Chain A
Amino acid sequence: MKLHLALRWIVFAFVALIMNFPVIATFITALKSPSEISRNPSLVVDSPTLENFVTVLTVSDRLNVYHYLWNSFSAATIGAILPMLVAFPMAWVMVRRGYGRALLFPLIVNLRALPLIIFAVPLYLMFSVAYLLDTRIGLGLVLAIVNLPLTLMLLVNAVAEIPIELEEAAHMDGARLPRLIGRVVLPLCRPAFITTFVFGFITAWNEFLFGLILTTQRAVPMTVGASFFFATSGGGVQWGVAAAVMVVAALPPLILGLVMYRRISGSMVSGAVKG
């Protein structure tokens, strides 16, 4: 029995190491000085330094990390909140009144499964007409589409979990629709809103394809910006700096995700199983 358990721990440690290897290795590399990188690619750092982070965080005019971070932050915020705003009323009418259950809901949920590239090309054309190319708002709007299906599903689950008696009690207490939703349904959905926001924010932050196609300069998000550090324009890639950039870029979703891993994993499961 003891041996069995020990074996399970070993398997866990091994799998965790392999799956997270690129993250670990990138973090370690970010702590190496440029001269050490060229002679020591191993995972043991001889003389750890924060030099690379300093380079990344002291603004250089060509590749400005703060600029990318701000773009990602604002676009991801729009991309997480907007779908919640439009989907919440829909979630309520669908659960309580059965409105849109036949067509609208399956339509939206199935969007999730379509390859994003299908939308990318026509959205590019539309954005070029609407002057939304290379803007944070434009990117945020697109990320909102990406997040809409899962947001709707999570909010539908949240509304469905409210006991119907509570809404009936509010009706009996004289509450009409606005008060019912404002004072009873909304507060009860708050935990779901937080989960949905975090989930949507992480998804939006991590999005790459639309950032690549729809932005060129002003609204370039962090994921795309990070790839610029790998472009070998004159000389080789500065691996230490590139690694530091990736650590900075991956940190916001990682922190959010690890703090809330229970809810995140829970919503991933319910999003998958109920779709």
Chain B
Amino acid sequence: MSRVSLENVCKSFTALEVIKSVSLTVEDGEFCVFVGPSGCGKSTLLRMIAGLEGVTSGRILIDDEDVTGLEPYDRHLSMVFQSYALYPHLSVRQNIAFALETAKQPKNLIEQKVAEAARMLKLEEYLDRRPSALSGGQRQRVAIGRAIVREPKAFLFDEPLSNLDAALRGETRIEIASLHKSLGATMIYVTHDQVEAMTLADRIVVLNKGQIMQVGSPQELYERPGNTFVAQFLGSPKMNVIEASGTGRGDIKLPGNRCLALSEGNSETIRQVGIRPEQIAVTDEADATITGTVKLREYHGSVLNLVVDAGPIGDLSVLAPSVSGLAEGKRIGLGFPTEALHFFDARGQRVELGPGARR
């Protein structure tokens, strides 16, 4: 298994810049997820690593070997496609064996490897069927089997779960995670689904408009988002970001002359404050400095998803326990715990408070 590095990789189609200077190293054995809204360039980036798309400038390295100019078949990677891309005219067995036959491996070795993969993916009964006779989940497993038998330097996944129904998606997600554990392989995985990203990744790469917004473990990204984009992209419902201005002293001004008192000093560069819906405390109206009216209430079973009209601050989304029994039109108080706050400057970049403000 191998390390994959990108050095200042750029890609443009005539006038359109799709990837703007991306640098990144995916370590050996790492599960790295590219995530971002549609059109952010995540699939393009993956296809550039695969060699299916050319690179306008920059270098791609696999184990320190420059593969930028190599064709896909010389890079020794495997890829699982969104549509699975199974060869419809070949049986499951032939599909899995295709790459090995291409590499002219000995027959008994091919048989052995195919059998092994089939056992691992519970495909033994279907080996002689055509892909058209399989269910979506089975096709998906054949695609994975085709990828693992050739023992590639790294696995590339291009939204592999998006063609499955919800129940199967969860199941297959777990299978992929355990596959990664048992193979210890380098995997690069593209998805637009943040749940997949959070649950599968060792490291997440958040992309937007062809640029890396932030790289880090799921926990890092969730707890300390580097900018408002990442802050709002991960987490559901998304983080509330409120206009604010730092005073440099112990409080932060919010719209409508409200103030948030902090235990430490803050920075004058702060222009926005973020807080996740689940971290806003619902209190009695009388006890709170910030109050609002429940405007919309979505019942989700265990929780209520509220939209609260907080006057000059604007609408806030708030998660409350179902048992709280809040009804639309009710006035409530909102508590913003200091340790749950995120601060951003005018450009949306994260502002850290002084040492000790938060770990």
Q: In the complex, is A directly touching B at CB under 8 Å? A: yes
Q: Is B262 an interface residue when CB atoms closer than 8 A count as contact?
A: no
- Is A184 positioned at the interface, with any CB of B under 8 Å from its CB? yes
- Are B98 and A173 in touch, CB under 8 angstroms? yes
Per DSSP, are chain A's interface residues mostly helix, strand or loop, or mixed?
A: helix
Are A173 and B83 neighbours in the complex by a CB distance under 8 Å? no
Cα-based distance from A183 to B87 in the complex (angstroms): 10
Which residues of the partner chain A approach B81 to less than 8 Å between Cβ atoms?
A: 165, 168-169
* Complex Cα spacing A17 to B150, Å: 63
Considering the chains assembled together, what is the distance between the CA atoms of A171 and B88 in angstroms?
16
Residues of the B chain whose Cβ atoms lie less than 8 Å from the Cβ of A179: 102
Say yes or no for A248: interface residue by CB 8 A criterion.
no
Instruction: Compute how far the CA of A55 lies from the CA of B71 in the bound complex, rounded to whole angstroms.
Output: 66
Residues of B within 8 A of A171 (CB): 51-52, 71-73
With both beta carbons as reference points, the residue of chain B lying nearest to A165 in the complex is identified as B85
Whether the pair B83, A168 counts as a contact (CB closer than 8 A) is no
Chain B residues whose CB sits within 8 angstroms of the CB of A176 once the complex forms: 71, 73
- B84-98 residues at the A interface, CB under 8 angstroms: 85-89, 98
Q: Which residues of A contact B102 (CB under 8 A)?
A: 173-175, 179
Interface residues of A in 158-193 (CB under 8 A from B): 163, 165-166, 168-176, 179, 183-184, 187-188, 190
Closest-CB distance, A269 to chain B (whole angstroms): 24
A188, B88: Cβ atoms under 8 Å? yes
A176 to B28, CA, bound (A): 27
Task: With A173-B78, A174-B150 as known contacts, state yes or no: A187 contacts B73, CB within 8 Å.
Answer: no
Q: Which residues of A contact B150 (CB under 8 A)?
A: 173-174
> Complex formed: what's the CA distance from A165 to B83 in Å?
8
Chain B residue with the shortest CB-CB distance to A180: B73
Give complex CA distance A183, B98 in Å.
9
Distance in angstroms from A254 CB to nearest chain B CB is 31
Across the interface, which residues of A come within 8 angstroms of B353, CB to CB?
none
Cα–Cα distance between A163 and B89 once the two chains are bound (Å): 13
A131-174 vs B, Cβ < 8 Å mask (1 yes, 0 no): 00000000000000000000000000000000101101111111
Are B73 and A168 within 8 A (Cβ)? no
Q: State the CA gap A166–B52 with chains docked (Å).
A: 12
Establish whether residues A173 and B88, one from each chain, have CB atoms under 8 Å apart when the complex forms.
Answer: no
Interface size on A, residues (CB 8 A): 18
Given contacts A168-B81, A174-B103, contact A184 B72 (CB under 8 A): no
Nearest-neighbour CB distance to chain B for A121, whole angstroms, equals 46
CB-nearest residue of chain B to A186: B89
Q: Are A173 and B146 in contact (CB under 8 A)?
A: yes
Contact between chains at A184 and B79 (CB < 8 Å): no
B150 CB → nearest A CB, Å = 7
Q: Which residues of B contact A163 (CB under 8 A)?
A: 83, 85
Closest to B77 in A: A172
| B121 / chain A contacts, CB cutoff of 8 Å | none
Q: Is B22 an interface residue (CB 8 A)?
A: no
**Nearest chain B residue, comparing its CB with the CB of A166:** B85
Q: Which residues of the other chain, A, contact B76 by a CB distance below 8 angstroms?
A: 174
Chain B residues numbered 51-77 whose CB sits less than 8 Å from any CB in chain A? 51-52, 71-73, 76-77
A169 touches B79 (CB 8 A): yes
Give the chain A neighbours of B71 by CB distance below 8 A: 171, 176
B85 contacts A169, C-beta separation under 8 Å: yes
A158 to chain B, nearest CB (A): 13
Which of A163, A172, A188, A190 lies at the interface centre, i.e. has the most chain B CB atoms within 10 A of its CB?
Answer: A172
When C-beta atoms are compared, the residue in chain A nearest to B51 turns out to be: A171
B86 neighbours in A (Cβ, 8 Å): 169
Contact of B73 with A175 in the complex, beta carbons under 8 Å: yes
Q: B99: CB under 8 A from chain A?
A: yes
For B156, the chain A residues whose CB sits under 8 A away are 172
A176 to chain B minimum Cβ distance, whole angstroms, is 6
Q: For A168, what are the chain B residues with a Cβ–Cβ distance below 8 Å?
A: 50, 52, 72, 79, 81, 85
Within 8 Å by CB of B73, from A174, A183, A188, lies A174
Q: What residues on B are CB-neighbors of A172 within 8 Å?
A: 50, 52, 72-73, 77-79, 156
A163 to B99, CA, bound (A): 19
Bound-complex Cα distance A187 to B86 (A): 14
Q: Bound complex: CA of A173 vs CA of B76, how far in Å?
A: 8
In the complex, are the beta carbons of B99 and A174 less than 8 A apart?
yes
| Minimum C-beta distance from A222 to chain B (A) | 36
Shortest B203–chain A CB gap in Å is: 23
Query: Bound complex: CA of A176 vs CA of B102, how far in Å?
Result: 9
Complex interface residues of chain A between 184 and 231 (CB less than 8 A to chain B) = 184, 187-188, 190
Closest-by-CB residue of A relative to B82 is A165
Specify which chain A residues have a CB less than 8 angstroms from the CB of B103 in the assembled complex: 174
Closest chain A residue to B74 by CB distance? A174
CB-CB under 8 A from A187, the residues of chain B are 89
B78 in contact with A170 (CB, 8 Å)? no
**Chain B CB within 10 A, most for which of A165, A166, A171, A173:** A173
A150→B194 CA distance, assembly (Å) = 49
**A169 to B77 CA separation, bound complex (whole angstroms):** 11
B117 vs chain A, min Cβ distance (A)? 14
With a CB–CB cut-off of 8 A, which chain A residues contact B146?
169, 173
The smallest C-beta distance from B196 to any residue of chain A, in angstroms, reads: 20
Contacts A/B (CB < 8 Å), 15 sampled: A163-B85, A166-B85, A166-B87, A168-B72, A168-B81, A169-B81, A170-B87, A173-B73, A174-B76, A174-B102, A174-B103, A174-B150, A175-B102, A176-B71, A183-B98
Beyond A171-B52, A184-B87, 12 extra complex contacts between A and B, CB < 8 Å: A163-B83, A169-B85, A169-B87, A171-B51, A171-B71, A173-B78, A173-B99, A174-B102, A174-B150, A179-B102, A183-B98, A188-B88
A interface residues with partner B (beta carbon < 8 Å):
163, 165-166, 168-176, 179, 183-184, 187-188, 190
